[in-house]
Amino acid sequence: MPEDLKGRLLRSRNFQKALFLVRQLEYAVCDLRLHLEYDPENPANPLDVLGEIRSKVSVVPVPEWNRFLNSFSHIFGGGYAAGYYSYLWAEQLAADAWGRFQAEGALEPGTGDALRKEILSVGASRPALESFIAFRGRPPEPGPLLKSYGLT
């Protein structure tokens, strides 16, 4: 493969990654709002809720006729009610935890022991955020996730 082609391919691998993250946040906020703000006496139109969110965060306008939400089965029939955000949250925590392995060495026994002791062994016996902080020594930060997407 010619070097210039290889270079162009490598440079393009992060193309529109920021748009992907914004779209995932848009879906997560919509899911949370639809489930947490639901009022059976005065139900909001889900398309209006998504439209309001998009008016604030979307970079690329979505046509009025778009009905993506009608087939977004994750939040209505997939058991994710108000939990779609967990996709990005899991990525966030994984990227940030990996940062410790990168800093200390991926094969450093002490780092693996800390992961086992502070996260794997305790399971759900304490809040996951407390376990993460015990392992990482601080709350999660967005930098490692953005770096994993090539956005730093």
C-alpha dist (Å) from residue 39 to 33, 43, 48? 11, 5, 15
Does one domain contain both 139 and 110? yes
Q: What is the model's pLDDT at position 152?
A: 84
How many CB atoms are located within 10 Å of the residue 50 CB? Answer: 24
Residue 81 lies in a domain: no
What's the pTM value of the predicted model, to 2 decimals? 0.80
The number of distinct structural domains making up the chain is 2
How many CB atoms are located within 10 Å of the residue 29 CB? Answer: 19
Does one domain contain both 69 and 92? no
> Does the pLDDT at position 14 exceed 90?
no
Q: Residue 32 — pLDDT band, cuts 50, 70, 90?
A: very high
Q: What is the model's pLDDT at position 10?
A: 86
Last residue of a domain, one of 31, 50, 76: 76
pLDDT digits (tens, 9 = 90+) for 61-114: 889 899 988 888 877 777 777 888 888 999 999 999 999 999 999 898 999 999
Last residue of a domain, one of 55, 76, 97: 76
Q: Which DSSP string corresponds to 73-125? A: HHHHTSS-TTTTTHHHHHHHHHHHHHHHHHHH-TT-HHHHHHHIIIIITTGGG
Does one domain contain both 60 and 10? yes
Which residues span the domain enclosing 10? 3-76
Residue 121 lies in a domain: yes
